[in-house]
Structure 1
């Protein structure tokens, strides 16, 4: 297989963890006889510094000409005083719109060897395996009008929460399709007791459910969903929700695993290449120290191989390698509980050596 991958390393620890992911991808290419051509492009703060824009057109063009996109992270205090349209995060919002990255998949799996790393009781998090499906191109992050103005002598800020039936239907349907190959249960999260957009969301979910009679559908208000993620996460399987709710709930769910540094994500496109990234952000406080956890980015590479290129055994080889490294007791600083912490490069090398040692599937 010969594929082109756009690499958007971004800011903070982004370049460090992306470098780790690419090292693992190179090992997979050598072991399984594939060729992955990578091309670097700018996004976020580094793009602002170089071009004045958080998402240059050149980056958009490179992404559209690629088969998949690997992203690190964007943002940092250096750019915090810029206006909203010029901030690094605007680059993320714009790339989602440009490529119609409408479905964000965030698997939350607790490795047995890390069940003690969570702040929750071991019996609560042990064997948790759920998938959060977040709508990514609609809702309050993109709605218009979006402005600040003066009304009756007082400053007012306005954000608009807007969804169309078609936007809701395609993300709900994605949730049901995933449930077909999992445990056949969809939890649709909304705020239908208050928001009109959520009432439409719930109606559409009921309509889509008619096409999947084998799938159980339950509705859950977002405040209850936040509670159930902590109280009873094993009762959930596929959780599908709108943009802002998904943003908050998926970060909450990440702590079931003990660290943001463990969770990958995939943002699936309606028109072209999809984007794969860790969910942990740029972590500017540890950037350049060589201690960032690379496992979320390495797992994002596995998701890319699985979802974008249908390379199931290659993805499984990475997942097994991560599991084996953790089972052997190796930890980065965010996971260490008395053990000597491994550096970013050391953890990456351990995964690579494990892949080398694995027999072909």
Structure 2
């Protein structure tokens, strides 16, 4: 029996829209690993969004703040959905951007993997997707989303003006670039840094600091640079060329959604947001699918839970330090897709469309099969 003091604490926050639906399937997967593989973890459910707001006046109630504060990892669903006129200000006060800043979750990892089983449903052509397996690391707590000053003002001539500030410091750039170089050393040893240094001073500093860090500490890693507009084109034209891509907040936001099409659907894309390593070697982490709340399909039971389930695979690898279990889960997803498990967003014309729950069933069934094969080989 595991010592409870050694358990990894996980806060499960389904949130809004389709978030609770997909997170429920991830929770089933986590329960499977706890029961069948002895993964040492405790889970605590917590609420976020319109439901707790109507009960407490807070989108992020005190119980949820406590649960996330004590957690080693947060499994997040989605934010955004139906609102009363009072909610927008409350939502801003408890926003996901605010949580990223509070926990200093500066490195956002988004793996882009083209699954051969989905070649017919992915928008790019099959030959373009062959061998696609790269990671976008997006700087998550700085840049234009956090820079000051920002606001909306009325000019003396009556026109309205909106303004935001894009800014980066040496330390902000270097720590996320270091994450990229370190990850590349465990993969194919290539980093592509994306900026707009031909126009933006912020990007000039970005590129210079990445080059300096590379020269000082990571000269063994192959480093290239692309302007963001060219990077977007290359992701569509030849995504297999990339191994690790590192970029700023707004560029990473846009490029990762573009790259998601290589995986067949935004519903397939997981992510991990990592904070700094503390003196005990631990780092706060938030795991979430990239797809958002999708309020148009919320409550219909048709959302794709694989982005959330694959986020659990990232949690197994990065927080729970269980790479074999992470591999097992990823193999199970591959097996489920290979035998034709499809939700509506990844279904080929005429294919049977599974519900969210049925896709969860398919992954759990595949887990049993893959685990059984491993036991036989052992």
TM-score by length of 1: 0.95
Q: Secondary structure at the match of 1:324?
A: helix
Against the structure 1 CA distance between its residues 83 and 344, is the aligned structure 2 distance closer, same or farther, given a 3 Å change threshold?
closer
User: 1:89 and 1:281 mapped to 2: Cα distance?
Assistant: 19
Q: Which moved more, 1:49-58 or 1:314-323?
A: 49-58
Partner of 2:235: 229
The 3 A distance-change label for structure 1 pair 108 and 151 is: same
Q: Is 1:123 equivalent to 2:135 in the alignment?
A: no
Q: Distance in 2 between matches of 1:280 and 1:10?
A: 13
From 312, 325, 328, give the equivalent of 2:323: 312
Instruction: Tell me which residue corresponds to 2:301.
Output: 290
Question: What is the aligned partner in structure 2 of residue 216 from structure 1?
Answer: 222
Q: Deviations over 1:63-101 (max 9, x none)?
A: 12112110000102x238668643369510011011110
Alignment of 1:1-361 (within 5 A): 2-76=7-81, 78-79=82-83, 85-87=89-91, 91-152=95-156, 153-210=158-215, 211-270=217-276, 272-337=283-348, 338-357=350-369, 358-359=371-372, 360=374
1:117 and 1:257 in contact (8 A); partners too = no
CA displacement at 1:259 relative to structure 2: 0.5
In the aligned structure 1, how far is the partner of 2:93 from the partner of 2:339?
Answer: 37
Secondary structure class of the residue paired with 2:60: coil
Q: Distance in 2 between matches of 1:46 and 1:88?
A: 16
Shift of 1:38: 1.3
- Cα 1:175–1:332 change in 2 (3 A) is same
Structure 1 contact 179–215 (Cα < 8 Å) conserved: yes
1:117, distance to aligned residue in structure 2 (A): 1.4
C-alpha separation in 2, matches of 1:200 and 1:80: 42
Q: Secondary structure at the match of 1:144?
A: coil
Moved over 4 A (4+): 80-85
Structure 1 stretches of 5 or more lacking a match?
none
Whole-Å Cα distance in 1 between the matches of residues 352 and 93 of structure 2? 35
CA deviation vs aligned residue, 1:220-278 (integer Å, no higher than 9, x gap): 10000010000111111111000000000000000111101111100001254200000
Shift of the alpha carbon at 1:46? 3.7
User: Is the CA contact 1:75–1:88 (under 8 Å) kept in the aligned structure 2?
Assistant: no
Q: Closer, same or farther in 2 for the Cα pair 1:19/1:186, shift >3 Å?
A: same
3-state SS of paired residue (1:24):
helix
Q: Kindly indicate whether the alpha-carbon contact (under 8 Å) linking 1:115 and 1:122 is maintained by their aligned counterparts in 2.
A: yes
Q: Is the 8 A contact 1:178 1:238 kept in 2?
A: yes
Please report how far the alpha carbon of residue 47 of structure 1 lies from its aligned counterpart in structure 2 after TM superposition. Answer: 4.3
Moved more, 150-159 or 43-52: 43-52
Is the contact between residue 189 and residue 241 of structure 1 (CA under 8 Å) also seen in structure 2? yes
Return 5+ residue gaps in structure 2 as ranges: none
- Report which stretch shifted further, 195-204 or 157-166: 157-166
CA-based RMSD: 1.7
- The 3 A distance-change label for structure 1 pair 196 and 21 is same
Per-residue CA shift, 1:196-233, capped at 9, x if unaligned? 11110001010111111211111110000010000111
Say whether the 8 Å CA contact 1:60–1:98 is kept in structure 2.
Answer: no
C-alpha spacing 1:40/1:31, structure 2 compared with 1 (3 Å): same
State the Cα distance separating 1:54 from its structure 2 match: 3.7
Give the deviation of 1:61 after TM superposition: 2.7
* Distance across 2 between alignment mates of 1:249 and 1:138: 17
How many pairs does the alignment contain?
A: 360
